[in-house]
Amino acid sequence: MSGAGENAKTVERAVLASAIIGSSMTFVDGTVVNVTLPVLRRSLGASVAQIQWVVEGYMLFLASLILVGGALGDRWGRRRVFSAGVVVFALASAWCGLASDAAHLIAARGVQGIGASLLVPGSLALISASFSRERRGRAIGTWAAWTSIAAGIGPLVGGWLVEHLSWRWIFLLNLPFAAAVLALARARVPESRDETITGRIDWPGALLVTAGLFALVYGLIRGGAEGLGSGVVVASILGGVATLAGFAWLETHTQRPMVPPVLFRSRGFTGANLLTVCLYAGMSAIMFVLPFHLIQRRGYSVVQAAAAMLPFVAVMFTLSRWAGGLLDRHGAKLPLTLGPAVAAAGMWLFVPLAGRGSYWSEIFPAVFVMSLGMAVAVAPLTATVMTSVNEAHAGLASGVNNAVSRVATLLAVAVVGLVAGERLAEGLDRVAWLSAGLALAGAAAAGVLVPAEAAGRRR
């Protein structure tokens, strides 16, 4: 019996290690690339639109295919699909590191996003399948803690690589980690799948949402350079909106929709997702422009620019568990209105920055207040999403919300060019106004739609 127990613990450790390292690669790439965008733009001679697509190429496929990735794992085997995602992500990372120009880097980032859409949902699915219900919460908490640390430390390591070696190493560094994950998964991680699932995957829905988001983002990014009056821009935006409307119609008329409309019959779920769009869009716009302000306007090194955001990671890591307890004491409405309002105040603090004050007098207060608001909101937001629907749909609801947060990032970065213009380093004040307004709109949506009772009461 002791041998069997030891073997089970070995499997659990292997699953957890594989999930943490695999997910961390995708999270770190997201944070590292943002802070190195000014260097990438100078090195590749890229335009503002091309730099936006370096982020958007990745986020487009991750946001639109992440639900498909989870469904494939349930059907074809979670370890198999997770491992396939690691392979695709690693090969695309090598392509990124060897890219000769901006066009190749954008294409490689798109393939990275496809790999991440298989890898990210697969990591949590492996944990859920390998840990008992009693041990699963702690395992997911461990996963969240370590991936948060990786996302915080990653930009510092990436910044050092950029300054002392080359920006290419932030992508090539993924290769040894991917090899370690694949070896560990093959040797120690058991295969699992959901034998009860029948029917086809919603491929038409995946195609429509990907095409719609691409057309919309293309129009918004091109509009930043040419203006919204351009015929191509107008046609692209209207085509994107029409295609996304077609996706919404399809989801109400197919037997196995990728995004079941039944979820949005819950006011709490709808309100939580509207808040997600507004809050994450506002934060993502700030995070995209801030490195340009710090590096090009204030003369920060890449490492210093990365370190400037460490208070955000520290506050989120320290307060998230406490914030989750607010639901038990006060219900969902209070943290989901107070948190975004505080985050909006932090975003507004970026507006008057002139570039002459010190980090501690100008940047730190804005980062700290914004992170405080996000910490108050994020854990209750996640819990509200999970508990606003029937328990049988909790996993799918979490996946939909995950996709929604990434769509918010995708759209926010697309709009930045329209708001900040070609000189991103000087557009922080305008982006900060927009971000603060979005956060307040999210707070208002949560205040109207999210019920006041504690999240523990399921509908």
Under 8 Å CB-to-CB from 303, ≥6 apart: which residues? 156, 159, 160, 163
Under 8 Å CB-to-CB from 57, ≥6 apart: which residues? 106, 107, 109, 110, 113
- Residues 37-41: contacts with CB within 8 Å, 24+ apart? 37/288, 37/291, 37/292, 38/291, 38/292, 38/295, 38/296, 38/302, 38/425, 39/162, 39/167, 39/295, 39/302, 40/105, 40/167
Quick check: 342 and 369 in contact, CB under 8 A? yes
Residues 112 and 228 in one domain: no
Q: What is the percentage of the chain residues whose pLDDT exceeds 90?
A: 19
Q: Does residue 341 form part of some domain?
A: yes
313: CATH? 1.20.1250.20
Residues 304 and 413 in one domain: yes
Q: Does residue 19 form part of some domain?
A: yes
At 3-21, the pLDDT tens digits run 555 576 777 788 888 888 8
456 pLDDT higher than 50: no
Q: Does residue 225 form part of some domain?
A: yes
173 pLDDT higher than 50: yes
At 397-452, the pLDDT tens digits run 777 888 888 889 888 888 887 887 767 777 888 889 999 999 999 989 888 887 76
Q: Does residue 407 form part of some domain?
A: yes
Residues 207 and 356 in one domain: no
Q: Does residue 131 form part of some domain?
A: yes
Examine the fold and report which residue of 189, 216, 243 is the final residue of a domain before the chain moves on: 189
CA-nearest of 323, 349, 318, 319 to 336 is 323
Higher pLDDT, 266 or 456: 266
Q: Taking the CB of residue 329, how many other CB atoms lie within 10 A of it?
A: 9
Residues 223 and 361 in one domain: no
Tokens of 289: 């422009």
Alpha carbon distances (Å) from 133 to 125, 138, 254: 13, 10, 32
Residues 164 and 138 in one domain: yes
Q: Does residue 197 form part of some domain?
A: no
Alpha carbon distances (Å) from 32 to 46, 155, 259, 395, 433: 18, 4, 31, 29, 25
Residues 242 and 271 in one domain: no
CA-nearest of 202, 215, 217, 208 to 246 is 208
Examine the fold and report which residue of 156, 189, 222 is the final residue of a domain before the chain moves on: 189
DSSP 14-28: HHHHHHHHHHHHHHH
End-to-end CA distance of the chain: 41
Quick check: 44 and 105 in contact, CB under 8 A? yes
At 249-293, the pLDDT tens digits run 998 888 788 888 888 888 888 888 999 999 999 998 998 888 888
Residues 446 and 340 in one domain: yes
Quick check: 288 and 413 in contact, CB under 8 A? yes
At 74-111, the pLDDT tens digits run 778 888 888 999 999 999 999 999 988 889 999 999 99
Task: State how far the Cα of 322 lies from the Cα of 315, in Å rounded to an integer.
Answer: 11
Q: Taking the CB of residue 242, how many other CB atoms lie within 10 A of it?
A: 13
Task: State how far the Cα of 127 lies from the Cα of 19, in Å rounded to an integer.
Answer: 7
Residues 245 and 275 in one domain: no
238 pLDDT higher than 60: yes
Mean pLDDT of the chain: 82
Alpha carbon distances (Å) from 19 to 12, 145, 253: 11, 12, 35
Q: Does residue 337 form part of some domain?
A: yes
Q: Note the Cα 151 to chain centre separation in Å.
A: 11
Alpha helices by DSSP H, listed for 173-230, are 174-188, 203-226
Residues 58 and 170 in one domain: yes
DSSP 82-124: HHHHHHHHHHHHHHHHH--SHHHHHHHHHHHHHHHHHHHHHHH
The number of distinct structural domains making up the chain is 3
Alpha carbon distances (Å) from 33 to 41, 58, 164: 11, 11, 16
Q: What predicted TM-score, i.e. pTM, was given to this entire model?
A: 0.83
Q: What is the percentage of the chain residues whose pLDDT exceeds 70?
A: 88
Examine the fold and report which residue of 237, 257, 277 is the final residue of a domain before the chain moves on: 257
Query: What domain range includes position 454?
Result: 264-459
Residues 249 and 280 in one domain: no
Residues 238 and 271 in one domain: no
Task: State how far the Cα of 133 lies from the Cα of 117, in Å rounded to an integer.
Answer: 25
370 pLDDT higher than 80: yes
Q: Look at residue 459 in the predicted model and tell me its pLDDT.
A: 41
At 422-436, the pLDDT tens digits run 677 778 888 899 999
Q: Look at residue 326 in the predicted model and tell me its pLDDT.
A: 62
* DSSP summary character for residue 454: -
Alpha helices by DSSP H, listed for 388-424, are 394-420
Confidence of residue 2 (pLDDT cuts 50, 70, 90): very low
Q: Look at residue 394 in the predicted model and tell me its pLDDT.
A: 62
Q: Does residue 195 form part of some domain?
A: no
Residues 239 and 321 in one domain: no
Confidence of residue 121 (pLDDT cuts 50, 70, 90): confident
